[in-house]
Structure 1
């Protein structure tokens, strides 16, 4: 399976390893509009979506809700396998589970040779039209369901998908009744927090395990700067880190080599779960600290001890991640192949999804996570918005202005959303997740816009399958999320909802869609 980058809001395949067996989905296709905002356009494409109806209750006395996952940056199967909470909740609510694939990812490709219609607005319009059709066809297929009845819909999403689930509720409240947005880096997306927050949190979590580990990392990079920039000891460092030849031969390679190292820390922090995933152990970032300490004290060369310790951490991560295969012929790490140059210096990934994410990073999803060696343990970044703008303009068009894009995205500032009267969105944030830098960390935005802060939780851990090793904070957070959803589903619909619900039944998109 190809890799799609964290890409923003980071959905590494290692995060998507399944803890419990996901049910087998029904694969379906929806005839979707290529351009929702041009009434003269009749172009269409086939959008992939997955369905599971084993727990769905639909009879004369009750129609269960739709639990809809707003797919993010990757093939939809990745998120199906990772989002166990929806399947655990579905029997309680008698829900129909639906996962919608994001346009241009996986098999849902509107246009083959350009990303002209790749925007957040087009994506959430896809989801709204798909849901509207599903809701309409329920009454068409089941004659005992009144055409005027309202099929309640709950949107779910994690990371970038969390942003999308919330935006579905914000822009299409007559279709999406409520949303759970987990680990949604909203403030980073809007450029409302410092760019160095992501790596600051990684450093703080590492510090909490053992402050000496942070000291070792700082010392290692200081020594590497000397070895590489001053003494040009490229071959020595290449051998210490197990790199392939030609990976480090000149100064221009050093920044990318450092990013490759930082990528290991970022992935360990994002997947810092209380149970093993694949070949990574439980609490893998904490274990990485132990790996470094052991290597540091075992080193026979005191001058290189910190570098040796850092190399052991990167080897520990990359050897235990099948996404970075060890070159069995050359017996080395090919950093250029594993970590290709792109707009997202956290990591775009490889494969087709990486190309799509690269474009999104150059247009709307503009997040530039940097380091400064003051609030974090890493050397200062050389990549800034100016560099990113230059790269994106050269690759996609001279008229791109990332500063303007960031300003434009601020139409979605949280307080402005609250003032519009939108409600029923849960924002959950894991407090050891580096993406919490852009998450909601304050009190509830409003009575029906709760913010749930989860201690000891990494990236959207609350959406994953339950596990006996889950911290009590995660167990309680899931309980609170379910209670909010139950309360909102039980509320009587307002007159506005009933009227709008009736309107959305008028759907002329003949897709042959089954619900």
Structure 2
């Protein structure tokens, strides 16, 4: 049985369709095989009836469960409806393990759809799958439409509150689902969700027996890693993907400045890049350059070995494709160089050819909650980054905490606490914890803030040299490099060890 349990006030049709898409993605290969063998009209009609029947089953598997708005105070006793998705198709009762996805900064159905690893190992482990949505994202809004109205309503958007949501949810599942009382729970997450999975194990070791933290930059905080390492990794990805690729991107910033110095140049840039809104002034040019910078960063994150549609629809090894447009020698003119940059950018934004124009206000899927993440960055997720234009391919920009703090004050009326995450979660002093896998891809710029070497026998690092952002959590693919195949096999091995030990501990516990 596949069920959707939900604790969120939501648009019913949108949520249902999103989850159905997630479930169908989990069984996409099975459906493709069936349809490939189904040629007659009557056969296809029967298949559609079966799918509709599954949807009806899901329709009647909705549940509601309330969560505290504030887990750590007693004055605010309000509750909200938080959404989570659950599949027990392969769960072996009683006591079968639970793989619990710690939701990121976005719609949980999107992460469910992009975490094929959990779907693929569920049968092998006899596991239940749970995907929990992070408060303030997707449809889990503590104050409904007022959740983002002001900082007073945003005050409860913290990682600590989110972890408490997850802990309470697991306790509720164990208390209400027959056969789940003694089920060992393993947290799984990628990126910010990976940070949460690691911190979940650290803060609630009695709730989860272990955690897989994929591409989790838990050390990307003040004083823990050099602020320039992130952009160095991005540059290295481009440098090894094509001749002169990084050098020409480095030169492109000056070319943009030169060309944009005249009204005709602004018009030319707008037309060459097929921008939805034409560039009109210096502020527009600054936004344009920031948009380009984030484009190169995102490409480094999603440099997957096969066609994918994570942040955008992209070809396999997209940076190699991009770099084909940036192989100029040193004699290239500003206009020629920027023509190449425009073609390179369109690989990211218009690979399918379906976009009539490029929007500089959006660089990735709308499934991510940017405003919520900006607020978190302005409170506890303070991640210093800087560039020097020499060891990286970007314009020089120092990390200026005061300027960042002033920007947060202007936007939200609050100031960040630079060292709070290190204080709450221990920074680099985490050796007393256990049973956490930190997996990182060598192509992923976020690996610069991740745990990339073993800390102890049970705080282990798995490096994937040919891997981009949480590649190990994605569906397996025939084009996967051997390093990610080996990583997934090792992760399952650790899962099995944790499950075995947890069950042994339970059997040995006194019953009187």
* TM-score between the two structures when normalised by the length of structure 2: 0.80
Summarize the Cα distance change of 1:66–1:242 in structure 2 as closer, same or farther, 3 Å threshold: same
Answer whether contact 1:190 1:407 (CA < 8 A) is retained. no
User: SS of 2:26's equivalent?
Assistant: coil
Answer whether contact 1:273 1:283 (CA < 8 A) is retained. yes
User: SS of 2:240's equivalent?
Assistant: helix
Instruction: Flag the structure with more relative contact order, 1 or 2, with Cα contacts below 8 A and sequence separation at least 6.
Output: 1
Matched, 1:255 2:268: no
Summarize the Cα distance change of 1:435–1:498 in structure 2 as closer, same or farther, 3 Å threshold: farther
Answer whether contact 1:361 1:367 (CA < 8 A) is retained. yes
Answer whether contact 1:174 1:497 (CA < 8 A) is retained. no
Equivalent in 300, 306, 309 of residue 275 of structure 1: 306
Shift of residue 171, structure 1, vs aligned partner: 0.8
Matched, 1:310 2:341: yes
Match in the other structure for 1:284:
318
Q: Which moved more, 1:249-258 or 1:23-32?
A: 23-32
Match in the other structure for 2:369:
353
Summarize the Cα distance change of 1:19–1:386 in structure 2 as closer, same or farther, 3 Å threshold: farther
Gaps of 5+ in 2: 1-20, 28-54, 147-152
Summarize the Cα distance change of 1:275–1:350 in structure 2 as closer, same or farther, 3 Å threshold: closer
In 2, the alpha carbon distance for the partners of 1:196 and 1:415 equals 19
Number of residue pairs matched by the alignment? 451
Answer whether contact 2:221 2:384 (CA < 8 A) is retained. no
Gaps of 5+ in 1: 1-16, 340-346, 503-515
User: SS of 1:29's equivalent?
Assistant: coil
In 2, the alpha carbon distance for the partners of 1:410 and 1:374 equals 33
* TM-score between the two structures when normalised by the length of structure 1: 0.80
Answer whether contact 1:28 1:51 (CA < 8 A) is retained. no
Equivalent in 116, 124, 130 of residue 98 of structure 1: 130
Equivalent in 182, 186, 206 of residue 214 of structure 2: 182
For residues 303-382 of structure 1, the aligned pairs below 5 Å read: 303-320=334-351, 326=355, 328=356, 332-335=357-360, 337-338=361-362, 353-381=369-397
**CA offsets per residue over residues 461-490 of structure 1, 9 Å max, x none?**
001111111000000001111111111211
Shift of residue 350, structure 1, vs aligned partner: 5.6
In 2, the alpha carbon distance for the partners of 1:189 and 1:498 equals 41
Shift of residue 175, structure 1, vs aligned partner: 0.8
In 2, the alpha carbon distance for the partners of 1:157 and 1:121 equals 16
Equivalent in 407, 414, 418 of residue 391 of structure 1: 407
Shift of residue 418, structure 1, vs aligned partner: 1.6
In 1, the alpha carbon distance for the partners of 2:75 and 2:228 equals 44
Equivalent in 72, 79, 89 of residue 44 of structure 1: 79
User: SS of 1:209's equivalent?
Assistant: coil
Match in the other structure for 1:447:
457
Match in the other structure for 1:470:
480
Q: Which moved more, 1:259-268 or 1:383-392?
A: 383-392
Matched, 1:416 2:429: yes
For residues 485-500 of structure 1, the aligned pairs below 5 Å read: 485-491=495-501
Match in the other structure for 1:5:
none
Answer whether contact 2:214 2:438 (CA < 8 A) is retained. yes
Answer whether contact 2:100 2:188 (CA < 8 A) is retained. yes
Answer whether contact 1:166 1:180 (CA < 8 A) is retained. yes
Shift of residue 252, structure 1, vs aligned partner: 2.4
In 1, the alpha carbon distance for the partners of 2:503 and 2:472 equals 28
What RMSD in Å do the two structures reach over aligned CA positions? 3.1
User: SS of 1:21's equivalent?
Assistant: helix
